[in-house]
Amino acid sequence: MKKSLELLVGAALAACAGLAVAQISAPPPSTPPGGTSSRGAGDTFTKLDADKDGMVSKKEASKNKDLAAKWDTLDANKDGKLDQGEFAAFESGTGSVPKY
């Protein structure tokens, strides 16, 4: 019985140590709403997002004539804003926007 308890405690400690190491690991690069991307792709998005709500409105997009010209195609879900995914289609030049 004592041996089983020792094994159980040892396994629990090992599991906790694994979780601690996982928490220390650096998170993957991402662009939080209103933040900047480490890849540089979010820089234009961040500059256009004047109110820092994580979306680019049609009014904010009007500062970029190419973006404004493609607005109707890029705003795939027709909510009047571009999220990061919709904006990524503009930056990639493909104009291919994920369907919602």
Domain ranges of the chain: 42-92
pLDDT value for 93: 80
Instruction: Report the C-alpha gap between 98 and 100 in whole angstroms.
Output: 6
pLDDT value for 43: 87
Q: 45 or 15: whose pLDDT is higher?
A: 45
Look up the pTM and report it: 0.54
Estimate the share of the chain in helix, then strand, then coil, as percent rounded to the nearest 5: 50, 5, 45
Q: Which of 50, 51, 49, 63 is nearest to 86 (CA)?
A: 49
pLDDT confidence bin for 6, thresholds 50/70/90: confident
- Reported as a single tens digit per residue, the pLDDT across 47-69 is 999 999 999 999 999 999 999 99
The superfamily (CATH) of domain 42-92 is EF-hand (1.10.238.10)
